[in-house]
Structure 1
Amino acid sequence: MKRKTGKYLLLLLFLLLSLTLLQNFIQQRSQTSLLNSDTCFTEAFREQALRPELYAQLDEKEYPDREFADLLTATMLNGKFFPRRLSRNNEAYLRFKPEDYYDLRSCYLAVWKDLETFPIPVRADGEIEEEIFYENTFGADRSYGGSRKHEGCDLFGTISQSGFYPVISMTSGSIEKIGWLPLGGYRIGIRSSHGGYFYYAHLESYEKNFQIGETVEAGQILGFMGNTGYGEEGTSGKFPVHLHLGIYVNPKGKEELSVNPYYVLRAMEKKVKKYTY
């Protein structure tokens, strides 16, 4: 009788263990439902809705690339792309969808890892809220050049004078594009080390005669805020003075995709530089 009871107990323990493992398997599979081969192209990813306080927690710890990227990616996934707290739990993604996970991880690195400063410095005796203002207009309708969506964020200064505010590089990197575009006026595009493309448009002028391939440092002056564009080269004055900031990633080597700079700017407000001008 004792032998049978022992067998029943072992069977019961085996069944309980199997049920626990099955539940864990199902939970992990469910956890990965937001992740697939096209996640980097979704509107939720493109919003980049990382709260400034969460970025500050990431930044304060000064993680190396791998830890920073894994913590950021797990946080965004587990928070359904609008997280309220940091999360390290990435086991399910690595177990069931490692390729999709690393694609997404690479895109987050491109946006966030190389950031060092806000794109417009404030005057030495001022504060950012007294100088610069912007809103979340990513995806808003635009009409010049045909019906399209706004692929960036517009920053305005309290002094609406063309050429007054310097525009600085948010990252170190190399100049990939420079010159006139009908939509962007005088613009400059910087490719950062982790693959992000940072696009600064409607400049009044450039700081110097930059060349494609030239290296720039974070905080270096690129040019000055203006209102150029919407016409042939040299056109200006068709809209208020402002900086258009665009941020682009290149998922899986496909055509570059714009992401929302608004939350990046909010995070970088704590890293605004003060210059004398």
Structure 2
Amino acid sequence: MKLPFMLLSFLLLCQQLIGAQVDTVEVYSNSMQKNIKAVVVQPTNKLNSKLPTLYLLHGFSGKYHDYIQRVAQLQDLVDRYQILVVCPDGGYSSWYWDIDGDKDFQYETFVSNELVSYISANYPANEESRYRAITGFSMGGHGALYLALRHQDVYGAVGSIAGGVDIRPFPNNWDMAKRLGSYVENSASWQSHTIMEMLHLAGGKPLPIYIDCGRDDFFHEVNLRLHERMTYLNIPHHYQSMPGKHDWAYVSKSLDYQFAFFHQFFVDSER
């Protein structure tokens, strides 16, 4: 009788060491007429048949596998909080926008429509928006806020880690002019695509918001100004600024807090 018990104990230990299940999938985007990769991480031992989902968006020049390769505790967070995590490829410099007339840059449609539909159809994801959140780093932090504000029927909560929340001070950086045209000639388009000028969209149903940026980050000033403006406009949000700069060490530290924030949001959604 001891052998089966020891074998069972060994298998359980192996499960714990292996951690959450990691899949790499290819999702066809009808809007861009191509397959796009994504990493999907799900708990090893699911406690519910349907799981809340967190979409993690990478930064400029990043890839779909950035979080699983660079955030050591990601699988542990997935197991601990029982959250399904989806990390899509957002292209080298998409900023997660749909660009009129450019079929290669329809990433708003891909992430918030095509990918969400794929995950709902192929994974144990709760399909209600109150069980779906989105966050990201740098370009991905901007993208998360941009998508959540424009698709509050899709996402119930949103976060940002060192997000480029006001793109206007950086008119010559990170390929944004390739997407929107020059700031001098297309200022109206830049205004409509920057988070700082989209806050009127947060005036509808409550949207839990978590904004985080390191004190030594080059995006710290724009994040602080966003926090101050949201405070002035009485938009509820959580703002955090810890010691740190624009790197993956800060992302890893921030995700510990953001997972707890989203977990609490999902728990509250059940009440």
Q: TM-score range by the shorter chain?
A: under 0.3
Give the strand-richer structure, 1 or 2: 1
Give the helix-richer structure, 1 or 2: 2
TM-score by length of 1: 0.26
TM-score by length of 2: 0.27
Q: Which has the larger radius of gyration?
A: 1
Q: Which has the higher contact order (CA 8 A, sep 6+)?
A: 1
